[in-house]
């Protein structure tokens, strides 16, 4: 078998091509470190809390202290003449590299969860501590090899000069590039190529001063202004072929260098078998101890410790450079590569076992409009994706009739897609925290609009503005977390389609549709999907229709309509669709419906009408007669209703299940509905 492996290995990787492939792989890994620097948020260090700082500091220091302190103990188990590179192994195994942790969180899709944010903040602190320790160890090695303290000071001085050049020359030059790029236009290719040339020059310089070739690329990456236009342009152009081509080549080359035939089961192997788990447990303890002190749940603390122990390309490259420098043997290289591969497989599985981000959205309270105090404060989370969402939300709030006796607390969340960075952000503009993203400029329209709306309605409206910058597939985390923290009764999300003034579809965002479906599945409170067809352009008086069929969602929509009835400028009609022949099923639901409708029937400010139908086609005809008479139509989603005679046959034509049968009928192109639509789903998840 070894002969067979050697035969085909020599054909796949001929000796005369090894140097070329290694250079290509190193070039790719250099660009990867540069991209990681571009995506990193240095300001995260200033904003890190005590918990993240303690975890980030103890994560590398505890295993480093235990590993270095056990050198004499390890020496007892080694046979005469055997050497164990304990300094190198301990230093690399103690790392919690930011790139490896960010990639793991991205793969697990918990990048912007509470645990993910804590892990990223801790990883940034850990990275600073690790880089400092590695730099000191490198300078010590140079001193031992050259036996010259002057050479050490020379290297340190040159490196400090390099950092100053990056901060005071390269960084301002990149800011100038951003200013020279018109808004909405791409960065010129000449600037991109110049930055890549600077990255390669910086890498050569740091290699010349006897530091790692990767330091230069990473530091230049930190100097790039994050986000669009420059940071995101570099990521968009470089990441596809770096992650898709160069990194796989780099990983393949390093793995192929591991010669597992050099592993002999002698005393040194048994030392590795004991020593590596001890370092892993020490690292786990270093992360879990501050987490326990901060009263983090046990499962979450274990998951955090596992995430901080993740291994990947950074550790593999470190062992590869150590092997090239003849610091470690082939046997050590093979054992370490095997341990990295084992950790890369096992750690994600264990994290999924211990941490389920969806479970935290299930609350212990009833968070819906029905169970809110009738004259109390109504708390609403409003999601803003585009500037044209602002006017629709504000107009809907006006329609809701906020007063000093019955106020509305609005939490406006501006959602921005994460591009060109690794770490997600959640900013409360009340706290006036600024980051490298300059969120105030991104959310200026939202801040001004809702601030003015609050000032125009003193005592009736309390507005708080937030900005969330995260990947599209994870935005639901920010929305649900905010609703959970603020004990909101309702989340309002815009529909993914946009219409022009003539009623034709102007644009359609499928990513937004997927996000809406995730919110409906996980929301800790009730949800309303707003299909805005020009509610922003209505006059002071507004005609609203509430279509009632029965069920939890319809009763939630009715509770919202009851609140609208207090607004004197609103003309509200409740249309109750009743089956011609009642089959006697769901008697409990029918009684609950009657209790809810009774208060509306007796309300002199509300028009109440019963429509008897026997099938879905008749219902559709009646609804089409209503749509042109009203500005806003309120319906329930009714997704959990198993059978309803009033809507039989309409399910087959449903295009948007997230709106329910009736909401889909009103939002479809064939419906020719010019009225805006608000579709309600009552709170689904509760812990009883």
Tokens standing for 684? Answer: 């689904």
Q: What is the mean pLDDT of residues 315-343?
A: 81
Place of tokens 């219902």: 619
Q: Determine the pLDDT at residue 365.
A: 59
- List the one residue out of 682, 663, 381 whose CA is nearest residue 495: 663
Per-residue pLDDT at 573 exceeds 70: yes
Q: What is the pTM of this model?
A: 0.66
Strands 542-548 and 632-636: parallel
Q: Determine the pLDDT at residue 439.
A: 44
Q: What is the mean pLDDT of residues 234-245?
A: 83
Which range (80-94, 199-213, 371-385, 606-620) has the least confidence?
A: 80-94
CA contacts within 13 A on the Cβ side of 354:
18
Residue 229, preceding bond cis, omega within 30 degrees? yes
More confident residue, 472 or 39: 472
Q: Determine the pLDDT at residue 169.
A: 92
Q: Determine the pLDDT at residue 529.
A: 94
More confident residue, 579 or 168: 168
Strand ranges for 471-614 from DSSP E: 490-494, 497-499, 505-508, 526-531, 542-548, 570-579, 606-613
Q: Supply angle C-alpha 446, 449, 452, rounded to 5.
A: 140
CA dihedral (180, 185, 186, 189) in degrees, to 10, reads: -50
Q: pLDDT (tens digit, 9 = 90+) per residue, 114-123?
A: 788 788 888 8
Which range (106-120, 352-366, 656-670) has the least confidence?
A: 352-366
Give yes or no for a contact between 336 and 280, defined as CB atoms under 8 angstroms apart: no
CA dihedral (508, 513, 515, 520) in degrees, to 10, reads: 150
Give yes or no for a contact between 35 and 221, defined as CB atoms under 8 angstroms apart: yes
Could you count the other beta carbons within 10 Å of the beta carbon of residue 456? Answer: 11
Question: How would you classify residue 432: left for phi > 0, otherwise alpha for psi between -120 and 50, otherwise beta?
Answer: left
Tokens standing for 32? Answer: 């990867």
Q: pLDDT (tens digit, 9 = 90+) per residue, 52-97?
A: 888 888 888 888 888 877 766 666 665 554 566 777 788 788 878 8
Q: Determine the pLDDT at residue 380.
A: 93
Which range (235-244, 316-325, 427-436, 563-572) has the least confidence?
A: 427-436
Which range (265-274, 322-331, 519-528) has the least confidence?
A: 265-274
Give yes or no for a contact between 600 and 572, defined as CB atoms under 8 angstroms apart: no
Place of tokens 């998951």: 303
More confident residue, 80 or 403: 403
Q: Determine the pLDDT at residue 413.
A: 93
Q: pLDDT-based confidence at 361, cuts 50/70/90? A: low
Q: Determine the pLDDT at residue 8.
A: 62
d(CA 537, CA 478): 30
- List the one residue out of 469, 93, 487 whose CA is nearest residue 318: 93
Q: What is the mean pLDDT of residues 669-681?
A: 76
Mean pLDDT for the chain overall: 80
Q: What is the mean pLDDT of residues 375-382?
A: 86
Q: Determine the pLDDT at residue 498.
A: 80
Which are the contacts of 225, defined by CB distance < 8 A and separation ≥ 6?
174, 175, 178, 231, 436
d(CA 676, CA 306): 48
Give yes or no for a contact between 122 and 56, defined as CB atoms under 8 angstroms apart: yes
- List the one residue out of 325, 312, 142, 124 whose CA is nearest residue 218: 124
Q: Determine the pLDDT at residue 495.
A: 92
Using CA atoms, how far residue 664 sits from 287, 450, 678, in Å, is: 49, 30, 11
More confident residue, 188 or 44: 188
Which range (235-239, 261-265, 379-383) has the least confidence?
A: 261-265
Percent of the chain with pLDDT over 70: 82
Which range (32-41, 136-145, 369-378) has the least confidence?
A: 136-145
Could you count the other beta carbons within 10 Å of the beta carbon of residue 397? Answer: 22
Rounded (10°) angle between helices 213-223 and 189-208: 140
Q: Determine the pLDDT at residue 669.
A: 53
Q: What is the mean pLDDT of residues 522-543?
A: 76
For the chain, the farthest-separated pair of C-alpha atoms sits apart, in whole angstroms, at 98
Give yes or no for a contact between 632 and 399, defined as CB atoms under 8 angstroms apart: yes
Q: pLDDT (tens digit, 9 = 90+) per residue, 643-656?
A: 677 887 777 777 88
More confident residue, 537 or 647: 647
Per-residue pLDDT at 171 exceeds 80: yes
Give yes or no for a contact between 122 and 308, defined as CB atoms under 8 angstroms apart: yes
Which range (350-354, 405-409, 512-516, 641-645) has the least confidence?
A: 641-645
d(CA 334, CA 231): 37
Q: pLDDT (tens digit, 9 = 90+) per residue, 184-207?
A: 677 888 888 899 899 988 888 887
Q: What is the mean pLDDT of residues 407-436?
A: 73
Place of tokens 């800790």: 524
């Amino acid at each position: 078998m070894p002969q067979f492996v050697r035969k085909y290995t020599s054909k796949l990787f001929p000796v005369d091509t090894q140097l070329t492939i290694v250079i290509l792989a190193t070039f790719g890994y250099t660009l990867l470190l540069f991209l990681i620097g571009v995506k990193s948020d240095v300001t995260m260090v200033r904003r890190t809390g005590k918990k993240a700082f303690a975890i980030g500091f103890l994560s590398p220091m505890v295993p480093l202290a235990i590993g270095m302190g056990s050198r004499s103990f390890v020496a007892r188990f080694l046979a005469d003449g055997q050497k164990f590179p304990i300094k190198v192994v301990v230093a690399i195994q103690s790392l919690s590299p930011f790139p490896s942790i960010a990639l793991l969180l991205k793969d697990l899709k918990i990048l912007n969860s509470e645990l993910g944010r804590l892990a990223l903040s801790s990883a940034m602190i850990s990275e600073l501590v690790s880089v400092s320790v590695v730099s000191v160890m490198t300078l010590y090695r140079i001193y031992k090899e050259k036996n010259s303290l002057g050479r050490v000071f020379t290297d340190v001085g040159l490196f400090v000069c390099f950092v100053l050049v990056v901060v005071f020359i390269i960084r301002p030059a990149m800011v100038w590039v951003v200013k020279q790029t018109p808004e909405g236009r791409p960065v010129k290719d000449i600037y991109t190529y110049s930055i890549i040339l600077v990255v390669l020059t910086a890498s050569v310089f740091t290699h010349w001063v006897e530091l790692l070739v990767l330091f230069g690329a990473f530091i230049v990456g930190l100097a790039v202004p994050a986000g669009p236009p420059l940071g995101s342009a570099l990521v968009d152009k470089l990441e596809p072929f770096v992650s898709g081509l160069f990194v796989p080549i780099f990983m393949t080359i390093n793995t192929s260098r591991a010669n597992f035939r050099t592993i002999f089961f002698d005393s040194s192997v048994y030392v590795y078998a004991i020593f590596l788990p001890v370092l892993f447990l020490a690292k786990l303890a270093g992360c879990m101890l501050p987490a326990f002190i901060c009263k983090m749940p046990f499962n979450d603390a274990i998951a955090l410790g596992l995430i901080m122990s993740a291994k990947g390309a950074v550790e593999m490259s470190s062992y590869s450079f150590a092997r090239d420098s003849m610091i470690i043997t082939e046997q050590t290289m093979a054992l370490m590569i095997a341990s990295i591969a084992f950790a890369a497989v096992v750690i994600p599985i264990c994290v999924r076992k211990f941490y389920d981000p969806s479970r935290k959205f299930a609350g212990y309270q009833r968070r819906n409009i029905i169970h809110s105090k009738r004259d109390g404060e109504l708390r609403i989370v409003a999601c803003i994706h585009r500037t044209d969402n602002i006017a629709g939300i504000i107009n809907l709030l006006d329609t809701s009739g906020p007063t000093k006796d019955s106020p509305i607390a609005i939490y406006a969340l501006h959602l921005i897609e994460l591009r060109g960075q690794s770490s997600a952000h959640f900013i409360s503009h009340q706290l006036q925290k600024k980051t490298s993203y300059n969120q105030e400029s991104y959310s200026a329209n939202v801040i001004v609009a809702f601030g003015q709306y609050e000032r125009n309605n003193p005592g009736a409206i309390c507005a708080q503005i937030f900005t969330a910058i995260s990947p599209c597939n994870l935005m639901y985390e920010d929305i649900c977390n905010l609703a959970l923290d603020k004990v909101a009764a309702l989340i309002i999300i815009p529909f993914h389609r946009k219409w022009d003034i003539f009623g034709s579809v102007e644009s359609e965002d499928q990513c937004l549709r997927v996000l809406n479906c995730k919110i409906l599945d996980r929301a800790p409170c009730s949800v309303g999907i707003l299909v805005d067809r020009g509610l922003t352009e209505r006059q002071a008086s507004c005609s609203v229709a509430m279509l009632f069929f029965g069920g939890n969602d319809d009763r939630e929509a009715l509770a919202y309509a009851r609140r609208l009835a207090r607004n004197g400028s609103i003309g509200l009609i409740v249309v109750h669709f009743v089956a011609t022949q009642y089959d006697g099923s769901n008697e409990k639901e029918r009684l609950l419906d009657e209790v809810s409708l009774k208060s509306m029937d007796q309300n002199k400010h509300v028009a109440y009408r019963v429509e008897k139908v026997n099938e879905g086609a008749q219902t559709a005809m009646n609804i089409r007669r209503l749509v042109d008479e009203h500005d806003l139509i309120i319906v329930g989603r009714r997704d959990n209703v198993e059978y309803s005679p009033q809507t039989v046959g309409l399910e087959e034509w449903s295009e948007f299940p997230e709106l329910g049968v009736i909401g889909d009928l009103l939002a479809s192109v064939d419906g020719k509905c010019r009225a805006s639509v608000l579709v309600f789903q009552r709170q689904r998840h509760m812990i009883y």
